[in-house]
Amino acid sequence: MAAYTGKVIVLTGASQGIGKALALALSPQHPTLVLAARDEAALRGVEAECRALGAATFVFRTDVTDEAQCRDLIRQTIRSAGALDVLIHNAGGGMNARFDEMSDISMFEKLMRLNYLGPVYLTHEALPHLKKSRGQIVVISSVAGLTGVPLRTAYSGSKHAVFGLFESLRIELAEHGVGVTMIAPDFVQSEIHKRAYGPDGKPVGDSTIAERVAMPADECARLIVGAMERRQRLLITSLRGRLGRFVRLFAPRLIDRIASRAIRRGV
């Protein structure tokens, strides 16, 4: 039997991008997928594709920046599916702006709410159920959560924050058998780069990365499912990301230059 057959999986940010790809990648294992995001019509489309692949599904429209809606998502999951085995924090947003050129810094608060506080609210409500199932928390952070990246100050800060939170929580949860799997993707093809906040706090509109050479979302999803099945501590999706962890110990300025070049060239 596959690892997630019959398991109840809550997945945020399931309406598009990596979240949608992850829902589709998990579906052939016949899990019960609880799909959450703000765009209900898009979620219904993903739901139909997941069902066709073998998943049972529920759709709950949720804005993860709102504590009450996060708590409601978990309560509705328990009411509808009767249990919770896996909580995947995937919903997220980005930015593309130099700090000294920002005319609107509200993105700091918005990205902390979306990328950090959403996972806090959801995890707090879900924990008793995850302890009962000796379940798993999966966090889609970023390589920008492991190292500094120019034009990503608010994003990188929020992604470092989730690393701090869940690396600490993992230790507390070990005695309860709840696993924590951290995911640090490098550039992936998705809408996040177009929806990213620019210096005026509005979406930039055009992607600033070379989408064609970025990792396809379905390939990223396949790697994530593998890491989940192994209950791996950390998955870094790129070779430069994996090597960078060690190189920065003795050549941190080299890593700064690599991060700068990646943002300048978009690859």
Ligand X SMILES: NC(=O)c1ccc[n+]([C@@H]2O[C@H](COP(=O)([O-])OP(=O)(O)OC[C@H]3O[C@@H](n4cnc5c(N)ncnc54)[C@H](OP(=O)(O)O)[C@@H]3O)[C@@H](O)[C@H]2O)c1
Site of interaction with ligand X (CB under 6 A):
12-13, 15-19, 37-39, 42, 62-65, 90-94, 114, 140, 142, 185, 187-188, 190-192, 195
Which lies closer to ligand X via its Cβ, residue 136 or residue 190? 190
CB of 263 to ligand X, least distance (A): 12
Residue pair 85/175 in contact by the 8 Å Cβ criterion: no
Which lies closer to ligand X via its Cβ, residue 30 or residue 195? 195
CB of 170 to ligand X, least distance (A): 19
CB of 186 to ligand X, least distance (A): 6
Residue pair 62/121 in contact by the 8 Å Cβ criterion: no
Q: State the Cα–Cα distance between residues 222 and 219, nearest whole angstrom.
A: 5
Q: Is 10 helix (H, G, I), strand (E, B) or coil?
A: strand
CB of 134 to ligand X, least distance (A): 25
Among candidates 180, 160, 177, which has minimal Cα distance to 233?
180
Ramachandran angles phi, psi of 94, nearest 5°: -130, -170
Ramachandran angles phi, psi of 153, nearest 5°: -55, -50
Task: Indicate which residue of 4, 116, 121, 155 is catalytic.
Answer: 155
CB of 105 to ligand X, least distance (A): 19
Q: State the Cα–Cα distance between residues 116 and 141, nearest whole angstrom.
A: 10
3-state helix, strand, coil in the chain (%, to 5): 55, 15, 30
Which lies closer to ligand X via its Cβ, residue 45 or residue 54? 45
Q: State the Cα–Cα distance between residues 91 and 206, nearest whole angstrom.
A: 20
Which lies closer to ligand X via its Cβ, residue 132 or residue 258? 258
Cα angle: 225, vertex 230, 233; to 5 degrees: 95
CB of 37 to ligand X, least distance (A): 4
Which lies closer to ligand X via its Cβ, residue 102 or residue 154? 154
Taking CB atoms within 8 Å and a gap of at least 24, the contacts of 225-230 are: 225/22, 225/25, 225/26, 227/181, 227/183, 228/3, 228/4, 228/86, 228/136, 228/138, 228/181, 229/3, 229/4
Q: Is 25 helix (H, G, I), strand (E, B) or coil?
A: helix
Q: Is 155 annotated in the active site?
A: yes
Which lies closer to ligand X via its Cβ, residue 211 or residue 256? 211
List the catalytic residues. 155
